[in-house]
Structure 1
Amino acid sequence: MTRQKTSHTFTKIAFKPLHTNLFNIVLISFFLTLGCGNLYSQEIKSKKNSLPAVKQATKTEKKTEKPNAVVTDTIKLDTVKPKKAFLDGKVRYVAKDYAKIDQKKKTITLFNEAELYYKDVELKAGIIVLNYDKDEVYAGRIKDSAGVLTQYPNFKQGASEVQPDSIRFNFKTKKALIFNSRTEQGEFKVKAAITKKENDSVYFLKKARFTTSKDIDNPEYYFQTSKVKFIPGKKVITGLTNMVIADVPTPLALPFAYFPMSQEKSVSGIIIPSYNDSNTRGFSLQNMGYYFALSDNYDLTVLGDYYTNGSYAMRFESAYATRYKYRGNINVRFENLINSERGYPDYSKQNIYNIQWSHSKDTKSNPNSTFSASVNMGSSKYFKQSINQANVGSNLNNTLSSSISYNKTFNTIPQARLSLTATHSQNTQTEQINMTLPTLQASVDRVYPFVGKDGVKKGFIKNINLQYNLSGKNEIVTTDSLFFKPQMFRDAKIGMQHSIPLSTNFKLFKYFSAGASTNYQETWVTKTIDKSYDTSQSKVVDKTVNGFDSFRTYNFSTNLGTTIYGTFNFGADKKIQSIRHVMRPSITYAYTPSFEKYYDSYAVDASGLITTQYSRFDNGVYGAPSKDNSNIVGFSLSNTFEAKVRDKDSTKTEAKKIMLLNNLNFSTSYNFNADGKQVLAWQPVLVSGGTQFFDNKMNVNFGATLDPYAIDNSGTKINTFNIDNGGSLFRMTSANVTMNYSFSNKGGKEENQQSERNGGRKDDLFGTNTDLNDSRNSQFANEKDDGENVITEFFKSKIPWDMTLAYSLTYTNANRENKISGNSIMISANMDITPKWKGGVSTGYDFVQKGVTFTQFRFERDLLSWRMAFNWNPLGDNANWNFFIGIKSGVLSDIKWNKRSVSTR
C-alpha cells in the first residue's frame, strides 16, 4: 500500500477473513511434506566446466571400469523461467491525491505533490508515472483549478539538480530525456529546450541558453547556442554562441566557446586584457596574463601591460596559506616607463618597482615562537608614476615602511627571549632610506636575588631585581639611487650593546610610590672616526677606522609619584550630579656622569692653535657617550576628568558616566648643569590632551609648547624669563588641534585595505585605491537578493549614508611670526542614492594655501548580473578618470569594458 497523509481521501480495499480450522490445516501440511520422497530443484549452471564426479568402486568393478568414464548426474533441470526482479533497490513514493497501481500495464501513477525516492534519485512533480517493467519513470506538471500548469518536476541525482517541464528517466541505463530543463552548475544557470542525459557525466543540450543572472527565465543577459556538450563540474563546450542582452541579440558571437566548470576553489586560466590608449605612450593592452592554481596552498598570477611606444609592466601576485600554520601573500611589480618619442625634448625612460609581502604565523603551530612580515618597499616614485593602478590614496602618502620580525621564547628559569627584526623606512619625497638588517634583541627575565623562600616581594631590599639585555644593530642609511648597491653596504654601521639594569620600588609614607634604578652599559662597534686637519684640502676631514672598539657607561635615576582623587558633588537631582578629577603627579631625577676620557682633540685650522674635542664614537650606531655631567630633574602631571549625569532613561536608577577629558598632561624639566648660554636650565612646558564626543564618534586632540624664556631681536632664546622681559609667564611657540568625526546611519564602514597596505590611510579621506579591472571588488558583489521589493522598501526607510570629517589647525610662533601655518579640512561621504546607485566624494580645502585639496568622485551602479563604476579625480597632478562595466561573476570576469585616462605626470 502507498503511504498517505491522514488528511487525504482515498479508496480503501477491505479483506474479509475466512473461517477455517487452522490447526487441522497445519497438521495435514506437515504430514504431506514428510511423505514426499523425490525432490526436484532448479539447477544453476556454472560458467566453468565442473570436474567429473568420482565414484567409489569395488575390486571387481575396477577391472571392468573404462578409463576417464564420466558419471552422469540424474537430477532433472527446472524448466520454469525466473521472474524479472522489480528494479534492484527499495522504492519509496508518496502522493497527495492518489497512488494507482496498474498490474496489466505494470505502472504506478502518483498524482498531486508526488514524490519518489530510489537510490540516489529524488523526484518531485505534479504527476509521476513509474513503469517497473521498462524501469522508467516519467514526471510532469499538472493543471490547477485555473487551468495553469503548476508543480514543475524537480529531479535530483547526487549533486545534480534539474527543474524541467517534464522528464523521462531510465533507472538501468541512467539515461534521461529532459524538456525545458533549468539547472545550476556553479555560478552558471542553464536552460535548454531539450536535454539528453547520456550518463552521470555527459549531457547534450539543444537550444540552450546559460547566464549568471538570478532569474533564469527573464535574465538581463544570456548566451544563446543551438548545441551544447555539458560535463557537470568540469566544462561546457558549445557550438555557435551569441550574446543576448535584454532579449536583443548582439553582434558579439563566437563559432565555439569553452567555459570551465570545475568544482575546485580555483582553476588555472588565461586572463583577458583590457584595451586603452594614451597620448604619451600610444595604444596598450593592460592586465593580460595567466592565473596558475598551483595547489590548494598557494597560487600565482602573472599580469603584464604593453604600450606601443615600448613601455611595459609586469606583476607577479601570489597568495599562500597552510591551515593552523601560516598565511600570507606577495606582490612584485615592475614597470619600464617611456615618455614621448626618442629625439623629442620631453623624452624620458626610467624603471620603477614595488614589492609587497604580508605574512602571519598561526600561534597554534608553536606558541613559543612567532614570525610576521609586513613589507612595502620599492621606488619612491612608484605610486606617483605607475601606469596601471589608480594609486590615489597611496600617492598622497610620503612614507613607505616595512618590518620583518622573528620572536622566540625559551622556557628556561629564568625565562629568556630572542627577537630578530629587519626594518625599512623610506621617504618618497627626499628618497632617503633607513634600514636595519637586522636588529637583535635578547633578554633574560628579572631575577630577585633577595626574595625569601616565601616568594614575597615587599620592601626596598626584596624588590631589588636585575636582568640582562643584549641589543645589536646593522644600520644602513642610503638613497634610491644606491639601494642594494655595494656602496650601501660599505656605509653600514654595525654595533652591539650590553646592559644590566638594577632596580627596585617601594612605598613611601603610605601614599607615595617610589623607585630607583641604575644601569650599566657596554657598547661595541666595528667602526670609529679620526678627525684631523688636512692642509692640502684646508679643511677638517673624517677618516673611518675599521676595527673593534668599545666604551662603557652607567647612570642612576629615581622617581616618586602618587595619585590624588577629587570629587565635586552637585546633588542627585541635578543633571550633572558630580565631576571626578584624578591627578597623577610625578617627579623624576636622573644623573649621568661625564665620560670625557672617550674624547680627543683636533685642530680646526692650519695653525693648530684652535682645537676642539670630539669622540671617536661620533656617528656610531649607538652614538657617543656624554661628555658633560647630566643632572636633570623632571616634573609631570596627568589629569583625567569624568562626570556623572542623570540618564535620559527615567527607568534607570544609576547615573551615566561620561568622560570629559581622557587626558590632560603637563611636563617639563630642569637641568642643574646648564651653563645659561648654550644650554638653558628650564625646558619648555609641553601640554597635550584629548577627549571624545558624541558617543566616541568625534576624537579631539590638542597640544602646545610653552617656553618660559624670552627671545632677542634676532629670534634667539636668551637666559631671561619672558615675564621679566615684559611678556607673559609663558610664550606659546607652537600649538595644534586635530579633530576626526565619523558618523553614519548604517553599519560599520569598510576599511580601505589596499590603500593601507600601500602605505595610505585606512579611511577614504584620500580617496580609494580601486582597480576597476577586477569586477569582484564591487560593493554589490556579495549582496544577496532577499526577493523583496527593494524599491518599495527603500522609500519606506532612511537613505543609507556615512561621512568622515577631519580638521587640522597648526599655530607657529617660534620667532614672533605669530601665524597659522596649517589650516585644512577634509571630508569623505558615501551614499546609497538609490537601491542600485552608490555615490561617494572625497575632498577638502586648505585655508592657508587657499585651494581645494585632493578631490575624488565615485559612482557605482548595480546592474544585477553586471556592475558599472566610474571614478573621477578632476584636480592636480593626479587628474584622471576610470570607467568600467563588466559581469560580476568570477567565471565571466573577463567579459568587461574598461576605459581610463592616463595621467601625463
Structure 2
Amino acid sequence: MTFQKPSHTFTKIHLKALHTNNFKILFALSFTVFINTLSFSQDIPKKGKSINATVKDSLVTSVDSLDVLNTSEKIKDTITSDSIKPKKELLENIVKYHAKDYTTFSNKKQKLYLYNEAKIDYGDMNITAGSITIDYNTNTVYAVGITDSTGTYSQKPVFTQGSNVVEPDSIVFNTETQKALIYNSKTEQGEGTVISEITKKENDSVYFIKDAKYTTASNLEDPEYYLKLRKAKIVPGKKIVTGLANLFIYDVPTPLGLPFGFFPQSETQTSGVIIPTFGEQNTRGYFLQNGGYYFAINDYVDLAILGDYYTNGSYGIRLENKYKKRYKYSGNVGFSYEHLITSERGFSDYATSTIYNLRWSHSQDSKANPNSRFSASVNLGSSNYYQQSLNQINAANFLNNTLSSSVSYSKTFQGEPQVNYSLTATHSQNTNTEEINMTLPTFQGSVGRVYPFASKNGSKKGIIQNINLQYNIRGENRISTTDSLFFKKEMFDDAKIGFQHSIPISTNFKLFKYFSASASSSFNEVWTFKTVSKTFDTVERETITETISGFDAFRTYNFSTSLGTTVYGMFNFEKEGKDRKIKAIRHVIRPSISYNINPAFDQYYDTYEVVSADGLTTSDVDFTRFEESIFGTPNKTFSSSMGITVSNNLEAKVKDKDSTATEDKKIIIFNNLNFSTSYNFAGDSLKWSPVRVSGGTQLFKNKMSINFGATLDPYALDNNNTRIDTYNIDNGGSLFRLTSANMNASWSFSSKDGNSKDKNDNSEENRQRGGRADDLFGVSQDFSNQQIQEKRGEKEEKPSEFYNFKIPWSFRVAYAVNYSNSARQNEISSHALMFSGDIDLSSKWSVGGSSGYDLKNAGFTYTQLRFERDLLSWRMNFSWIPFSANSSWNFFIGIKSSILSDLKYEKRRQPDIQL
C-alpha cells in the first residue's frame, strides 16, 4: 500500500521570458502564483455539502507529465497483445478514510490529518484512533489517542488486520513495507493476552516483542499473574516462541521459569502431548499419571490416550474419545484398564490384579431421521473397578453397586397399520454378588392397532366399533453369568432363547353416562428351544433333570374387563363476611374395579413318581417341560379374580400471603393416595390379597417430596409364622396386620428461590458412570479436568470479597426408612439419612460436603468434605474423604485456562489398596 503524492497529478506550467513591460511581468507572476495556489482546491468539497463518511480516493493512478501524449495526435497501437504484464498499481485497494471533527491536508508537509474518531480502511487493514496522520513523503501512518479537557487519554488506536487485533497506545505503520512499531499494545492470542511495551510487526504473520507479559487474567491493567517474556516471536493464530520466561505473581518474580517456551495458538483443534502429573502413592512408589497424547483427528472426532505408571510396576491405560456431527449424532467412548501390583515380588502380601471399565454414550439428533433411531448407554467392566481404581474422577461412584448398559435400534414403517421393530442389547451387573444378566439381543416387533369394525368417517362409537387388535412379538437371547466368566466361552453355554407372540383384542365404551368400561382378551404363544424332562433316581434318591434341545411351544389366553369412573368433591369453607385462610378443599376420587380370568392349562404338565426310603410310599410330583422358558410357564391353576383400586388426589385453595395477588394459591395435600387389593374367587383359601397403600406429597413450595407405602395383610399367622386362612381380627388382632412399610423423602433448598444446583455440575458425568445425578455420594476429585469450568451464574448482588453479608448456601437431604414385619420380626430393616450442601463464605471462598448417617447401625456413611478458593485466573481445591476404604485427600492449585493447564501443583494422599 502506497499513498501517491497529490502534486504528481497537477499539470506544471512552464514560464518563458516575455518581452513586455514590468506591469505585465508582475501580472504574469501573480497569475502563476494564483493558479498554482488554487490548484489544490480540488481536495476541498463543494460549499454546502458535508464530507461523506467514506470517500473514494481519486488519487489512484499516477500520471507523469513526460508520459502525456499530445491530444491532437492519434496513435494506433499495432500490437494487439503485449507479452509483458503491466506493473501492479501502487494502490491495489480503495482507500477509505473518515474523521468526525475534521480531515485536513497539508500541501507543504504532504500530510493528511484525521481527528476524533478517525478511521482508515485499506483492504483487510483497519485503523481506528483519536488522531491519525498520513505522511505521503514516507508512506507512514501515525495513530494515537487524544486527551480530553480532563487529561484522560481516550480513543486509543485499534489496529486490525485479518483476524488479528492489536490495541496499543500508539502505532507507526509503513504502508509500503507493511511493517509497524506498536507501543504499549494488548493483543489477544488464543485464550491469553500479550501485553508489550514495544512490538515490531514484521509482516502480516510475524511479530517480535520485547519485555512483554503473557496472561489469561481478565484485569489487564493489574493482572494477578503473568509470564514475563524477555524476547518472543508471535505468529498470530499459530504459536508464540519465547526465550527466557518466568512467572510473576502481582509483579513479584518467582523462580518458576523456563529457558525457552512454546505456546501453541491454533484456532482449530490440534494434536499434542498431555503433560503427566507426578507424585507418590503409598506402596506403589512414585508415579506419573494422566500423561499421554491428544489426537485431533478431524472436526468431528478426537481421541486422547492417557497412561499411568508406578515404579513398582503397576500401570494403567485410558482411552477417551468424543465425536459429534451437527444435526446427526453425538457421543463419547471411554475405556480404562489398570494392572495393579501390591507390595513386591517375594513378599507374602504380593498380589496382582487387573480391572477395566468400558463406557459408551451415543445419542441421535431428532432431526436426523424421524423413522429410525439408534442410542447407546454402556457402562460395564470389573465389578470392583470403582472400589479399586485410584482415578480421582471415580470418587463420586465409589458406592455404586450396579452397572447397566443398553444399546438399541428402532425403526418405524409409516402406513396403515404402522409397523415397528427394535433390536436391543442390555446388560445388568451387581458389583456385590458379581452376577451379570445380559440379553444379546432382544427383538421386539409390533403392528399398530387395527379397528376392523370402525366406520369409514373415522369416528368410533359403541362397543363394536371400538374393537381393536394388534400383534406383538418379542424374542430374547438371555445370558446369566458371573464376573469371572464375562466374555468367555462358558458364558454362552447356558444361554436361553425364546420368542413370545401376543395378539391383544380390546374395546372400550361408556356405561350409564358416567362410567368407562373396557374389555380385553389376549392370546399368547411362547416358543422355546430347550425343554426339560424329570425323573427320580431311586438309588441316588435325587431328582434328575435332563435338558432336551429342540423346538417346542405352548399357548395361553386370558380375559379381563374393568369399570371405572371419576368423582369430584369440593368442600367450600368460605362464608360471607369472613375471610378464612383455607378457602376450599378439592377431592378427586378415581375408583375402578376389574375382573380377570386365567384358565388352567393342565395339558402342559407331567408327573414323575418319588419313592420314599422304605420303597413303599410313593408320591406324584407335577412339573412342566417349559420350566426354563424365559417367558414363564403355563398357568396350572384356574384363576378368577377381582381387583379393586381407589386413587385419590387432594388439593387446597388457600389465601395468598401476598396482598397484591389477585387469585388464591393452590397447594397440594396429596399428589396421590392409592389403595389396591384383589379377591380370587377360584381360590380354596387366602382369597384376599394384602392391601397395598401408596402415596406421595410435596411440601415447602414443592421443594420437599415425600413418598410412602405400606402393605396390610388381613390374614393371621400361626405359631410357625405362616399365613393361615383366618382373618387377623378373628384371631384376636386388628383388622389388618402391617407386614411392611417404607418412606423416603428428599429436600433440596437454598438461600434463593428455585432448585439449587451443584457448583461443579457433575450430574451428567456421574450418570454416565452409573452414579447418582446429585452429589449425595460426593463429587469427582479430578480437579485438573475441571479448570475451565465456570462457577454458577453471577449473583444479583456482588458481595464483598472479604465478607459476604448475604451468604449463599444450598442444602440437599434424603431420608429413607424401611419396616419389616412379615414374620413377626417387627424391625426397622434400614434407616438412613444422606445430606450434602455448599456454602459460599465469600464470592471467592466456598465449602461443601456430602455425607450420611446410618440411624440403624449408628454410624456415619461415606463422607467427603470440599473446600474451594477462586483465585481469579487460578483455582484452588481441597477434597478430603476422612474415613472408609477410600479415605484420601487431594490438594490442587492451577490456572483455569486450558492453554496453561500444565501450570499447576497437585498433592494427594491416595487410598491404601491393602485395605
The residue aligned with 1:755 is 766
Secondary structure class of the residue paired with 2:900:
coil
Give me the whole-angstrom Cα distance separating, in 2, the residues matched to 1:152 and 1:695: 54
Give me the whole-angstrom Cα distance separating, in 1, the residues matched to 2:419 and 2:541: 54
Q: 1:639 aligns with which of 645, 648, 656?
A: 648
Does the 8 Å CA contact 2:812/2:835 hold for their aligned counterparts?
yes
| 1:617 counterpart = 2:626 | yes
| 1:389 counterpart = 2:397 | no
1:133-161 residue CA offsets vs partner (Å, 9 max, x unmatched): 32210123455556665543222222221
Change (3 A) 1:252 1:601: same
1:649-668 residue CA offsets vs partner (Å, 9 max, x unmatched): 34444332222111000111
Q: 1:800 aligns with which of 804, 808, 816?
A: 808
Give me the whole-angstrom Cα distance separating, in 1, the residues matched to 2:876 and 2:801: 23
Q: Which moved more, 1:804-813 or 1:517-526?
A: 804-813
Change (3 A) 1:587 1:793: same
| 1:511 counterpart = 2:514 | yes
1:449 CA drift (Å): 1.5
Give me the whole-angstrom Cα distance separating, in 2, the residues matched to 1:603 and 1:792: 87
Q: 1:123 aligns with which of 108, 120, 127?
A: 127
1:791 CA drift (Å): 4.7
Does the 8 Å CA contact 2:804/2:841 hold for their aligned counterparts?
no
Give me the whole-angstrom Cα distance separating, in 1, the residues matched to 2:295 and 2:598: 62
Q: 1:89 aligns with which of 82, 87, 94?
A: 94
1:471 CA drift (Å): 0.9
Does the 8 Å CA contact 1:778/1:867 hold for their aligned counterparts?
no
The residue aligned with 1:883 is 891
Matches within 5 A, 1:312-327: 312-327=315-330
| Paired letter, 1:659 | I
1:591 CA drift (Å): 1.1
Give me the whole-angstrom Cα distance separating, in 2, the residues matched to 1:773 and 1:87: 51
1:625-670 residue CA offsets vs partner (Å, 9 max, x unmatched): 1111122211111111111222333444433222211100011111
Q: Which moved more, 1:495-504 or 1:150-159?
A: 150-159
Change (3 A) 1:797 1:249: closer
Change (3 A) 1:369 1:15: closer
Q: 1:545 aligns with which of 538, 543, 548?
A: 548
Does the 8 Å CA contact 1:772/1:882 hold for their aligned counterparts?
no
The residue aligned with 2:243 is 239
| 1:602 counterpart = 2:608 | yes
Does the 8 Å CA contact 1:775/1:886 hold for their aligned counterparts?
no
Secondary structure class of the residue paired with 1:109:
strand
The residue aligned with 1:587 is 593
Give me the whole-angstrom Cα distance separating, in 2, the residues matched to 1:214 and 1:654: 48
| Paired letter, 1:518 | S
Give me the whole-angstrom Cα distance separating, in 1, the residues matched to 2:82 and 2:602: 113
Secondary structure class of the residue paired with 2:397:
helix
Does the 8 Å CA contact 1:601/1:611 hold for their aligned counterparts?
yes
Give me the whole-angstrom Cα distance separating, in 2, the residues matched to 1:330 and 1:87: 52
| Paired letter, 1:585 | P
Give me the whole-angstrom Cα distance separating, in 1, the residues matched to 2:267 and 2:813: 46
Does the 8 Å CA contact 2:639/2:683 hold for their aligned counterparts?
no
The residue aligned with 1:251 is 255
The residue aligned with 1:827 is 835
The residue aligned with 1:845 is 853
The residue aligned with 2:266 is 262
Change (3 A) 1:537 1:169: farther
The residue aligned with 2:559 is 556
| 1:727 counterpart = 2:733 | yes
| Paired letter, 2:640 | N
Does the 8 Å CA contact 2:519/2:562 hold for their aligned counterparts?
yes
The residue aligned with 1:688 is 694
Change (3 A) 1:14 1:402: closer
The residue aligned with 1:72 is none
Secondary structure class of the residue paired with 1:460:
helix
Q: 1:415 aligns with which of 413, 418, 422?
A: 418
| Paired letter, 1:711 | L
1:125 CA drift (Å): 3.1
Change (3 A) 1:255 1:823: same
Does the 8 Å CA contact 1:803/1:828 hold for their aligned counterparts?
yes
Give me the whole-angstrom Cα distance separating, in 2, the residues matched to 1:378 and 1:448: 48
Change (3 A) 1:169 1:599: same
| 1:740 counterpart = 2:746 | yes
Give me the whole-angstrom Cα distance separating, in 2, the residues matched to 1:372 and 1:290: 29
The residue aligned with 2:14 is none
Q: 1:576 aligns with which of 565, 582, 587?
A: 582
| 1:701 counterpart = 2:714 | no
Give me the whole-angstrom Cα distance separating, in 1, the residues matched to 2:740 and 2:380: 34
1:99 CA drift (Å): 4.2
Matches within 5 A, 1:180-195: 180-195=184-199
1:699 CA drift (Å): 0.2
| 1:628 counterpart = 2:631 | no
Secondary structure class of the residue paired with 2:787:
helix
Does the 8 Å CA contact 2:285/2:312 hold for their aligned counterparts?
yes
| Paired letter, 2:670 | L
Gaps of 5+ in 2: 1-42, 49-68
| 1:776 counterpart = 2:787 | yes
Does the 8 Å CA contact 2:401/2:431 hold for their aligned counterparts?
yes
Give me the whole-angstrom Cα distance separating, in 1, the residues matched to 2:424 and 2:71: 97
Does the 8 Å CA contact 2:372/2:412 hold for their aligned counterparts?
yes
Q: 2:108 aligns with which of 89, 104, 107?
A: 104
Does the 8 Å CA contact 2:173/2:180 hold for their aligned counterparts?
yes
Q: 1:866 aligns with which of 842, 866, 874?
A: 874
The residue aligned with 2:53 is none
Q: Which moved more, 1:831-840 or 1:452-461?
A: 452-461
Change (3 A) 1:127 1:651: closer
| Paired letter, 1:105 | K
Does the 8 Å CA contact 2:800/2:843 hold for their aligned counterparts?
no
1:309 CA drift (Å): 1.1
Does the 8 Å CA contact 1:115/1:122 hold for their aligned counterparts?
yes
Secondary structure class of the residue paired with 2:333:
strand
The residue aligned with 2:234 is 230
The residue aligned with 2:60 is none
Does the 8 Å CA contact 2:93/2:123 hold for their aligned counterparts?
no
| 1:899 counterpart = 2:907 | yes
Give me the whole-angstrom Cα distance separating, in 2, the residues matched to 1:739 and 1:640: 19
Give me the whole-angstrom Cα distance separating, in 1, the residues matched to 2:725 and 2:905: 71
Aligned residues: 837
Give me the whole-angstrom Cα distance separating, in 2, the residues matched to 1:443 and 1:87: 70
| Paired letter, 2:679 | Y
1:783 CA drift (Å): 6.7
Change (3 A) 1:625 1:425: same
Q: 2:166 aligns with which of 162, 167, 171?
A: 162
| Paired letter, 1:192 | S
1:286 CA drift (Å): 0.4
Change (3 A) 1:741 1:429: same
Give me the whole-angstrom Cα distance separating, in 1, the residues matched to 2:178 and 2:80: 28
Matches within 5 A, 1:364-513: 364-513=367-516
State the Cα RMSD in Å.
2.8
| 1:335 counterpart = 2:338 | yes
| Paired letter, 1:238 | T
Change (3 A) 1:708 1:118: same
* Identical counterparts, % of pairs: 55
1:90 CA drift (Å): 2.4
1:707 CA drift (Å): 0.6
Secondary structure class of the residue paired with 1:723:
helix
Secondary structure class of the residue paired with 1:696:
coil
Does the 8 Å CA contact 1:775/1:893 hold for their aligned counterparts?
no
Matches within 5 A, 1:275-354: 275-354=278-357
Change (3 A) 1:577 1:449: same
Q: Which moved more, 1:207-216 or 1:692-701?
A: 207-216
1:740 CA drift (Å): 0.8
1:162 CA drift (Å): 1.3
| Paired letter, 1:179 | Y
| Paired letter, 1:294 | I
| Paired letter, 2:95 | K
